[in-house]
């Protein structure tokens, strides 16, 4: 009778850790998990430890994974088993979030209010669980990346966290503010259109 590890409902990296522990004792094993991340982590574990793996999708959306360690392969001793609890960072997300800021103010109408709203908007992007993969600045939006910009700190923090900040070169040239930029990389319409076309979700507030 093969041992069964029921890892459904457990948060990453529990399923793969339990699987690794069980494989140290058993040659054959069935693991039940309920998400793709756990399946991928266990696949990597199997590959690193030389186990045969067979994954079957169950009717309830969970997965049954059968692992068999070959007789010649000793139990894996190392700790490097390639666990990844996030399927991707902002840049590798299957449906990347792209935000276009085409003005230094949010919305049309009152200018002072538009500036306040933009400050709030950019600051709030930092609280998103999934940060934007890219932020594109064009027209007066490029002013947001200058050293005088009230949102520069927040943009820098987004860039540090992995967001790519594309600043329209034509616009920077037009406003003659190249020397004033404090964040982002000068970009062109090819990159901008490419980023828009590759977006899973495109927000133009």
Residues that bind other proteins (CB under 8 A): 112-113, 116, 119-120, 123-124, 150, 153-154, 156-157
Stretch (H or E) spanning 103:
none
Which of 8/123 has CB closer to other proteins?
123
Q: Nearest Cα to 135, choosing from 173, 108, 161, 112?
A: 161
Of 29 and 106, which has the nearer Cβ to other proteins? 106
Nearer to other proteins, 158 or 168 (CB): 158
What SS3 class is residue 70?
A: coil
Closest to other proteins by CB, 13 or 182: 182
Q: Where are the beta strands (DSSP E) in the chain?
A: 3-6, 28-33, 51-57, 63-69, 97-101, 134-137, 164-168, 185-187, 201-203
Burial of 94 (C-beta count, 10 Å sphere; 0-12/13-18/19+) = exposed
């Amino acid at each position: 009778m093969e041992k069964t590890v029921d890892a459904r409902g457990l948060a990453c990296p529990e399923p793969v850790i339990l699987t690794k522990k069980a494989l140290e004792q058993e040659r054959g094993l069935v693991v039940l998990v309920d998400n793709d991340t756990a399946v991928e982590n266990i696949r990597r574990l199997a590959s690193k430890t030389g186990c045969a793996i067979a994954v079957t999708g169950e009717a309830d959306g969970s997965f049954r994974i059968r692992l068999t360690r070959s007789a010649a392969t000793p139990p894996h001793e190392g700790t490097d088993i390639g666990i990844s609890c996030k399927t991707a960072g902002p840049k590798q997300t299957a449906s990347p979030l792209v935000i276009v800021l085409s003005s230094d103010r949010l919305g049309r109408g009152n200018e002072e209010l538009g500036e306040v709203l933009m400050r709030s908007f950019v600051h709030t992007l930092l609280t998103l669980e999934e940060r934007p993969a890219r932020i594109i600045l064009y027209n007066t939006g490029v002013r947001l990346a200058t050293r005088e910009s009230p949102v520069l700190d927040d943009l820098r923090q987004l860039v540090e966290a992995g967001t790519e900040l594309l600043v329209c070169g034509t616009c920077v040239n037009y406003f003659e503010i190249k020397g004033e930029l404090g964040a982002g990389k000068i970009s062109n319409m090819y990159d901008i259109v490419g980023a828009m076309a590759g977006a899973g979700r495109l927000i133009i507030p």
